[in-house]
Structure 1
Amino acid sequence: MATAFSDIQPDEYTPSEKHPQHGVIIGGPAARAKRIEYGILLSSMVIGSLGALYWTLTHATGWVEWSAFLFGFALINMGVGIGYHRFFTHRAFEAGPKMRLAIGIMAQMACQASVLKWAADHRRHHAFSDAVGDVHSPYVDGHGKKMGKLKGLGIAHFGWLFDNTTSDMRVYGKGLIDDPQVLWCHKHRWSIAIFSSIILPALWALAFGGPEHIIGTILIGGFFRNFFFLNFVMGVNSIGHVFGSQRFETKDGSRNNWFMAWMTFGDGWHNNHHQHPRAASSQIAWWEFDLNGQIIYLWEKMGLVWNVKRAPAYIRNEKGEWVQKDAKVARADLAEPEAMSADDGGVMFPADKQRHIEPAE
């Protein structure tokens, strides 16, 4: 019996090579489907961005095209940070069916694959962050081989999209593969991508400019918008694990990077996030503004979402170190980055022996 995600992972496939980590598939139809899908998405963004550059140099562009860009940038920024990341991956809050569907559609408007694929991959990233099995580490490739800094940054940024490893949906997709809203979004991911990249910018051009603005708005407010934002999302995976500050001594290279944080509406406070991955907001200090977290809190006040998870409060001790304000909560919270929660699919392996902390040669 075919599963609802057999288009990206066939029901029957036995890899000739076994990956050292649980739930990682090497080669086969799933890897081919991954390369084809990401190839189509990325090439359309690159070609569209080159078209946007040409159009900007040869035609008059103005507020119609660039307002579409800014509106779309904000929309997909919320979709990725709140939808793909904090809700579908980490279950930072709960929402009803209609809200889940709306969040899923908004996320997939960024054209970064379906919520099923994105969330499953990101769960695997947290299960093996910067160790054997990580999806996009700047330190080890998909097979756990150590890399130099330059190559590692390239692999973590875009290279991982085209390697031959995939996340087993039956392991990392728990709680997603039987969710009707997730499966609807997965089934209609190409329609959502076309609507986001072409139809919505065209309608924007007609509403605020005229037919003469359609091509420029599609190129700038559609394809270039997607590619521009994609680089910041990927930058959290690459730059955000190499450059920046570390408030917490996590078992990975996650960093807080203020520029990435501002450009991703809060996801760049990445070290904070890896310490408290289920928190709806990654803000720890007052200056670490997390817009997506504030939006979730607003939705909570409006009754649109509930059971919002929050990181504990932190203060500086006499040594200048950041410590949890409530010592009892701090002791109970030590296992959070490792064990996570059953709501995340139960795949975060609380037993350290199930994780290869040191990357393979």
Structure 2
Amino acid sequence: MASAFSDIQPDEYVPSEQHPQHGVIIGGPAARAKRIEYGILLSTMVLGSLGALYWTLTHATGWVEWSAFLFGFALINMGVGIGYHRYFTHRAFEAGPKMRLAIGIMAQMACQASVLKWAADHRRHHAFADGVGDVHSPYIDGHGKKMGKLKGLGIAHFGWLFDNTTSDMKVYGKGLIDDPQVLWCHKHRWSIAIFSSIVLPALWALAFGGPEHIIGTILIGGFFRNFFFLNFVMGVNSIGHVFGSQRFETKDGSRNNWFMAWMTFGDGWHNNHHQHPRAASSKIAWWEFDLNGQIIYAWEKMGLVWNVQRAPAYIRNDKGEWVLKKAKVAMAGIAEPEVMSADDGGILFPAKDRQPHIEPAE
């Protein structure tokens, strides 16, 4: 019997070459489907963005087009950070079926593949962060080969979308492959992408401007909005593992980057996140902006979500080091980086089995 995700990972495929890490598939229909899907999504964003540039230079644009851009940017920012990332990947909170469906649709409006695919890949990233098996490390490729800094940044940013490795849904899709809301979103991912990129901007233009604003709003508030935001999401994978500060020794290259944090509503506090991946907010210091985390806390107060996971409180000691505020918590071992577990919907990856951070090849 075919699985509900057989369109991206056929049951009958047996790879001729085995990857060193469990749950990573080399080649086959899944790799081809991945390249085709990401190729369509990325090329339409790029072409649409070039169209937006041309339209901006040759036509008058105003608040209709750019308000659609800003509204859509905020919407998909929440969708990716809260939906794809904190909920479906890490289970930072719990939600009912209607809320799960709403979050899933909002996430897929970013046009970055289905919830199923995105979350499975990101779970694999955390399982082997900057080690053999990582999906998008700037230090090694999908097969574990070391890369130079420039090539590594390119692979981690966009190149990984087109390699021949995929994440085994039966390993990294646990808790997702049998979720009706996730499977509905996966089945309708192209319809949601078309609605987000074309239909919603067109309706926005008609509601706040007129027919003459439709093309410009679709190009600017649809395709360019998606591509602009995509670069910051990918930037967390690339720049966020090379440039920035490290508050915690997580044995990978994750960094806290304030610019990426502002542009992704909090996901740029990436070192904080790798220390406590299940936390609903990546904010540790008072000045670290995490809008997505605040939205989750607001939803919790409204009763829309519950069982919200929180990172322990940290303070600076006399040496300027960040230490756990409560000694009892520190004794429980929470100061050690958290790893993927059954609670994340994946399988257990003990810290001893994780690959250390690899410096780039010269």
TM-score, length basis structure 2: 0.97
Asked whether the 8 Å contact 2:142–2:160 carries over to 1, the reply is yes
Alignment partners' CA distance in 2, 1:254 and 1:354: 14
Shift of the alpha carbon at 1:108?
0.1
Alignment partners' CA distance in 1, 2:113 and 2:120: 11
- Judging changes above 3 Å, is the alpha-carbon distance between structure 1 residues 67 and 280 closer, same or farther for their aligned structure 2 residues? same
Asked whether the 8 Å contact 1:281–1:292 carries over to 2, the reply is yes
Asked whether the 8 Å contact 1:338–1:350 carries over to 2, the reply is no
Shift of the alpha carbon at 1:289?
1.1
Asked whether the 8 Å contact 2:267–2:282 carries over to 1, the reply is yes
Shift of the alpha carbon at 1:332?
2.2
Asked whether the 8 Å contact 2:275–2:338 carries over to 1, the reply is no
Alignment partners' CA distance in 2, 1:110 and 1:346: 24
Shift of the alpha carbon at 1:355?
8.6
Asked whether the 8 Å contact 1:144–1:359 carries over to 2, the reply is no
Asked whether the 8 Å contact 2:101–2:185 carries over to 1, the reply is yes
Asked whether the 8 Å contact 1:139–1:149 carries over to 2, the reply is yes
- Judging changes above 3 Å, is the alpha-carbon distance between structure 1 residues 257 and 358 closer, same or farther for their aligned structure 2 residues? closer
Alignment partners' CA distance in 1, 2:335 and 2:172: 20
Asked whether the 8 Å contact 1:131–1:359 carries over to 2, the reply is no
1:286-327 Cα deviation digits (max 9, x unpaired)? 010100000000000000000000000000011110000112
Q: Which residue matches 1:273?
A: 273
Alignment partners' CA distance in 1, 2:64 and 2:354: 56
Shift of the alpha carbon at 1:56?
0.3
RMSD, aligned CA = 1.7
1:199-229 Cα deviation digits (max 9, x unpaired)? 0000000000000000000000000000000
1:315-359 Cα deviation digits (max 9, x unpaired)? 001111000011221232438644443121232411527999899
- Judging changes above 3 Å, is the alpha-carbon distance between structure 1 residues 150 and 358 closer, same or farther for their aligned structure 2 residues? closer
SS in 1 for 2:337: helix
Asked whether the 8 Å contact 1:72–1:222 carries over to 2, the reply is yes
Alignment partners' CA distance in 1, 2:280 and 2:225: 25
Asked whether the 8 Å contact 1:242–1:254 carries over to 2, the reply is yes
Query: Matched residue pairs, number?
Result: 361
1:179-216 Cα deviation digits (max 9, x unpaired)? 00000000000000000000000000000000000000
Alignment partners' CA distance in 2, 1:356 and 1:257: 18
SS in 2 for 1:339: coil
SS in 1 for 2:354: helix
TM-score, length basis structure 1: 0.97
Alignment of structure 1 residues 265-304 onto 2, 5 Å: 265-304=265-304
Q: Which residue matches 1:83?
A: 83
- Judging changes above 3 Å, is the alpha-carbon distance between structure 1 residues 333 and 213 closer, same or farther for their aligned structure 2 residues? farther
Q: % of aligned pairs identical?
A: 93
Alignment partners' CA distance in 2, 1:353 and 1:313: 26
1:232-280 Cα deviation digits (max 9, x unpaired)? 0000000000000000011100000000000000000000000000000
Alignment partners' CA distance in 2, 1:350 and 1:358: 22
Asked whether the 8 Å contact 1:79–1:106 carries over to 2, the reply is yes
1:1-42 Cα deviation digits (max 9, x unpaired)? 011100000011111110000000000000000000000000
Alignment partners' CA distance in 2, 1:22 and 1:331: 32
Asked whether the 8 Å contact 1:145–1:359 carries over to 2, the reply is no
Alignment partners' CA distance in 2, 1:235 and 1:360: 20
- Judging changes above 3 Å, is the alpha-carbon distance between structure 1 residues 335 and 26 closer, same or farther for their aligned structure 2 residues? farther
Q: List gaps (5 residues or longer) in structure 2.
A: none
Alignment partners' CA distance in 2, 1:341 and 1:25: 21
